[in-house]
Chains A and B, each alone.
Chain A
């Protein structure tokens, strides 16, 4: 078991003929049992690229390949449209890697998705991986290892750091999810925790948050009130000054809210084991849980 994806997931890449899209489509195909079944680039339907069949529309791609997951690399100007096209085609899961999508475009996308079955990860995220089975994203596959820990994070390389700390201690992962660093995104920390709680193979969770917003606090309330599995966390941005955007559009302390110290304090109150140093994410989990 795992969450959201496994070896049976069938994936297409939107924007497969771009250099980034193709490079990562190949990388995903090469990882374990990942089924990367094709791609979409309007105007290039009926052709092939490196063995991947290309379709003009997502609808076509779904009909011909049976794909249920889409990963998106199209530029910011067309990202919202690409997400909505994938939602319209009935995908179970859509992953938007693109960084720099206008926030009001995402407001529209969120409204469009209401009442539809599709789950969105991102935008501005590294993707998702179920180690040993399926990788849909830009993360390096080899740092992962199958096992009992779920990982959810707003950041890419900081997720790799946490995963590497686990793998180096011979602890594997069920599924690692990047939810992205933007203020309006498809899946929250809370959504991810609920899925990990429901997954029988996941025994513990590492949650990596950042300054800005209150998504980590909402997730912590769920840990306090409903979660039976141990959760460890790290909040990046203790040294960030207020009012400055720290790379990610969502990582900004505004109106005196969303600073790291208050987030950490609240998480601790809710029973989360919080790492003070990013080098101690795995250790913070091992303090409250033994594999």
Chain B
């Protein structure tokens, strides 16, 4: 789960990590009021969307006065912000963060993530702060430093010191960096982050370290033990169909194509999308109905697929293992009747009781095309849609 910058900073503040004073606002008048309460300018006015690269798109501005902060906030509210991470459709700005400005002497990069190669949380740091870190990694990998963290010992002071010296800090900053890094690690572990990124970590003119930006992703699997963080979910940032799907434990992701897919199992669902592309068309979605596709869930899955206006045909691909094909077939028939499907529907069933399942589809009186194997199914739906 993604959270906003202001939410991430609030979490970090609770762990004793230095972040700028600031407040989130929902209208431009509040922007001016909060700017005044922060004291003298300048102020940072920052659009809150779940995507990086906001500065280049006009989503981050420096205001000299509270009135100017109001002016910038007014321009941002309702604006569709397009960055390299939002996709061409962009994201609408509904929240703006007003912060005290700071005098930047130097910028650094710090992040924590779970490294799949070592199965450990890893601290990654670079003196090339404020830049796109993927670019740094690609062009100058020697400028990136890594520390793998033992889960029992945690991030130790000596590891934090090593990183701080590598970043070129003077001893006064090393003394600040060590607790800062250790507290960031503590925040990472105690809130079950999958990513915690500070870009940039700033050295101010006064010689202080402060986290000027903060990005936190939370491990969805761990949300059960973080009720307060779960409440930070911003539904405006998510696809409405993905939200609807998640209410029925369906894993759904909208894509650009015109063939809707319903599959059991994440791997087979991806493979089904791939085979549609292999035969020259494009999938409209990823949809995993899971291992226990009841009539209710199959019906909801159909509704979600059909609510996408781009969908011109549906491919159902089920490998019934424990789940029997006759049960699935009954679910598909019931759902098709309830929802009323007027576009081509190809169903591929394999597995336990497959013959019975096919018979149920054939006897249903519905216009369902039965397929043998994935290739046959994909070819049939692509042909039906392309005409």
- The answer to whether B116 and A102 touch across the interface, beta carbons within 8 angstroms, is no
- The answer to whether B264 and A100 touch across the interface, beta carbons within 8 angstroms, is no
Question: Which of B114, B224, B269, B352 makes the CB contact (< 8 A) with A77?
Answer: B224
Question: Which of B192, B267, B320, B374 makes the CB contact (< 8 A) with A155?
Answer: B267
Question: Which of B224, B269, B282, B378 makes the CB contact (< 8 A) with A247?
Answer: B269
Check if A30 is an interface residue, CB within 8 A of chain B: no
Check if B80 is an interface residue, CB within 8 A of chain A: no
7 tightest A-B contacts by CB? A155-B267, A247-B266, A157-B265, A158-B267, A102-B222, A279-B375, A278-B271
Most buried by B among A102, A104, A255: A104
Q: A111-B151, A277-B278 are in contact. Are A249 and B220 (CB under 8 A)?
A: yes
Check if A181 is an interface residue, CB within 8 A of chain B: yes
Check if B268 is an interface residue, CB within 8 A of chain A: yes
Check if B306 is an interface residue, CB within 8 A of chain A: no
Question: Which of B114, B267, B268, B276 makes the CB contact (< 8 A) with A103?
Answer: B114
Stretch at the interface among A1-9, A84-92, A196-204, A234-242: A234-242
Q: List, in ascending order, chain B residues with CB within 8 A of A276's CB.
A: 278
- The answer to whether A251 and B221 touch across the interface, beta carbons within 8 angstroms, is no
Stretch at the interface among A45-53, A206-214, A219-227: A206-214
- The answer to whether A140 and B270 touch across the interface, beta carbons within 8 angstroms, is no
Nearest CB of chain A from residue B165's CB, rounded to whole Å: 26
Q: List, in ascending order, chain A residues with CB within 8 A of B85's CB.
A: 243
Q: List, in ascending order, chain B residues with CB within 8 A of A158's CB.
A: 265, 267-268, 270-271
- The answer to whether B221 and A103 touch across the interface, beta carbons within 8 angstroms, is yes
- Report the separation of the CA atoms of residues A183 and B119 in the bound assembly, to the nearest whole angstrom: 8
- Report the separation of the CA atoms of residues A261 and B225 in the bound assembly, to the nearest whole angstrom: 37
- Report the separation of the CA atoms of residues A241 and B89 in the bound assembly, to the nearest whole angstrom: 15
- Report the separation of the CA atoms of residues A105 and B85 in the bound assembly, to the nearest whole angstrom: 30
Question: Which of B116, B121, B137, B374 makes the CB contact (< 8 A) with A278?
Answer: B374
- The answer to whether B277 and A239 touch across the interface, beta carbons within 8 angstroms, is yes
- The answer to whether A246 and B270 touch across the interface, beta carbons within 8 angstroms, is yes
Query: Closest residue to A155 on the B side, CB-wise?
Result: B267
Query: Closest residue to A242 on the B side, CB-wise?
Result: B85
- The answer to whether A104 and B116 touch across the interface, beta carbons within 8 angstroms, is no
Q: A111-B152, A140-B351, A277-B278 are in contact. Are A234 and B270 (CB under 8 A)?
A: no
Check if A156 is an interface residue, CB within 8 A of chain B: yes
Task: Give the residues from 199 to 235 in chain B that come closer than 8 angstroms, CB to CB, to chain A.
Answer: 219-222, 224-225
Q: A157-B268, A158-B271 are in contact. Are A238 and B277 (CB under 8 A)?
A: yes
Q: List, in ascending order, chain A residues with CB within 8 A of B374's CB.
A: 161, 277-279
Query: Closest residue to B189 on the A side, CB-wise?
Result: A104
Question: Which of B266, B291, B352 makes the CB contact (< 8 A) with A251?
Answer: B266
Query: Closest residue to B87 on the A side, CB-wise?
Result: A241
Q: List, in ascending order, chain B residues with CB within 8 A of A215's CB.
A: 116
- The answer to whether A239 and B273 touch across the interface, beta carbons within 8 angstroms, is yes
- Report the separation of the CA atoms of residues A159 and B321 in the bound assembly, to the nearest whole angstrom: 11
Contact with A along B167-209 (1 / 0, CB 8 A): 0000000000000000000000100101000000000000000
Check if B362 is an interface residue, CB within 8 A of chain A: no
Query: Closest residue to A159 on the B side, CB-wise?
Result: B267
- The answer to whether B119 and A161 touch across the interface, beta carbons within 8 angstroms, is no
Check if A101 is an interface residue, CB within 8 A of chain B: yes
Question: Which of A24, A161, A238, A246 makes the CB contact (< 8 A) with B266?
Answer: A246
Nearest CB of chain B from residue A243's CB, rounded to whole Å: 7
Check if B39 is an interface residue, CB within 8 A of chain A: no
Contact with B along A246-271 (1 / 0, CB 8 A): 11111100011000100000000000
